[in-house]
Amino acid sequence: MDGWIANWHRKDYRWRRRTWPWLLVALLLLFTGTGWGVINVAWKQVTLQVDGQEIEARTFAGQVGQFLNEQQVTLGLEDVVEPALDAPVIKGMVITVKRAVPVKIVADGQEREIWTPPVTVAEVLAKSGLTLQSQDRVTPDLAATVKAGDIIKITRVTYKTETVKREIDYRVERRPDREIEKGITRLVQKGQKGIQEETYRIIYEDGQETGRELVATRVVKEPVPEIIAAGTLDTASRGGQSFRFERVIYAVATAYTHTGKLTATGVYPRVGTIAVDPSVIPLGTRLYVEGYGFGVAQDVGSAIKGNRIDVFLDTEAATIRWGVRRVKVYVLK
């Protein structure tokens, strides 16, 4: 029995001597695997985006702020970091640093410069404390993202309503009248202007009027038309002799006598020669002048302009008796 026990002890000792190295190897593998697992969990790969560049990095940092310190990223006062500095760093995270840029704001007659991250115009204005009304105009567009050197302009737009009175022109009605000689008119009814109220919507930009639009009209007083009777009668009878005429004009008539000179048409004047303004009565036109009789437009005169005529008489005494008078002149067909 004692021999068997001794033999067992010898076998156990030999087994333990062979097993011990393997136990050490197993323990070493266990600790190595555990350590690698811990390192693999704590050592995270993240992406850093800053100043238009992107880098991949591994870090043991627990928070975003610590990671940025590791990468020696210095932040300005208005720079923005996403996620926040106190956010935990996790594997695969993208960390973005948005650098502030200088932007000018022009509004209400003032200009100021601010530093802001590249956010939308709307966010910049909200941060600056400027209030917008619905009708105000902003350039660039509120949804645009600002960049360095941008100028944000706010145009204050306001509206005002104004009512003014305007005159309405009257119309002129010409009514034919067989009782009046052709070329003669008679006022039947005097025209009167009407009045209407016009309401305008006036647009102001930064206090200056830039446009207006008519939004309503109201007639306060209707205009009264002017009515004129226009003669259509084209026949007349004088001294038992009837004639037809194209028109009748009223003219101021004077008289002249022999001068020894030829008329403008190259003939010597005689009774029936009448000086006219050719722009009113063409030379060669047959005429009938009340108080004088029939004649022909054959001469001109420096003082005969417009509705003026000069009739020829044989003697100086006759011209004096004629004097200056207003007459009807029939322009014959």
Per-residue pLDDT, 250? 97
Give the model confidence (pLDDT) of 295-315 as tens digits.
999 999 999 999 999 999 999
* pLDDT cut 70: percent of the chain above it: 87
Give the model confidence (pLDDT) of 66-95 as tens digits.
988 988 888 888 888 989 899 999 999 999
Pick the CATH number of 44-98 from 3.30.70.141, 3.20.20.140, 3.30.70.20, 3.10.20.30: 3.10.20.30
Per-residue pLDDT, 198? 97
Pick the CATH number of 159-228 from 2.20.230.10, 1.20.1090.10, 2.40.30.10, 3.30.930.10: 2.20.230.10
Q: Parse the chain into domains and list their residue ranges.
A: 44-98, 101-155, 159-228, 238-332
Q: How confident is the model at residue 10 (pLDDT cuts 50, 70, 90)?
A: low
Residue 40 DSSP one-character state: H
Give the model confidence (pLDDT) of 252-295 as tens digits.
999 999 989 999 999 999 999 999 999 999 999 999 999 999 99
Q: How confident is the model at residue 32 (pLDDT cuts 50, 70, 90)?
A: very low
Secondary element (H or E) of residue 208? strand 208-221
Question: Over 60: is that where the pLDDT of 27 sits?
Answer: no
Per-residue pLDDT, 4? 45
Query: 296 has which bridge partners?
Result: 273, 286
Question: Over 90: is that where the pLDDT of 9 sits?
Answer: no
What architecture (CATH level 2) is domain 101-155?
A: Roll (3.10)
In angstroms, rounded to a whole number, what is the distance separating the alpha carbons of residues 91 and 258? Answer: 127
Q: Nearest-CA neighbor of 160 among 121, 110, 123, 207?
A: 207
Residue 25 DSSP one-character state: H
Cβ-based neighbours of 118, under 8 Å, separated by 6 or more: 98, 99, 101, 145, 146, 147
Tokens coding 143? 């949804």
Question: Over 50: is that where the pLDDT of 247 sits?
Answer: yes
Per-residue pLDDT, 8? 39
Mean pLDDT of the chain: 89
Q: Hey, do 44-98 and 159-228 end up sharing a CATH topology, with the first three levels equal?
A: no
Kindly indicate whether the domain formed by 238-332 is annotated with CATH number 2.40.128.640: no
Question: Over 70: is that where the pLDDT of 176 sits?
Answer: yes
Per-residue pLDDT, 151? 96
Question: Over 80: is that where the pLDDT of 316 sits?
Answer: yes
Per-residue pLDDT, 19? 57
Secondary element (H or E) of residue 34? helix 2-42
Give the model confidence (pLDDT) of 137-159 as tens digits.
999 999 999 999 999 999 999 99
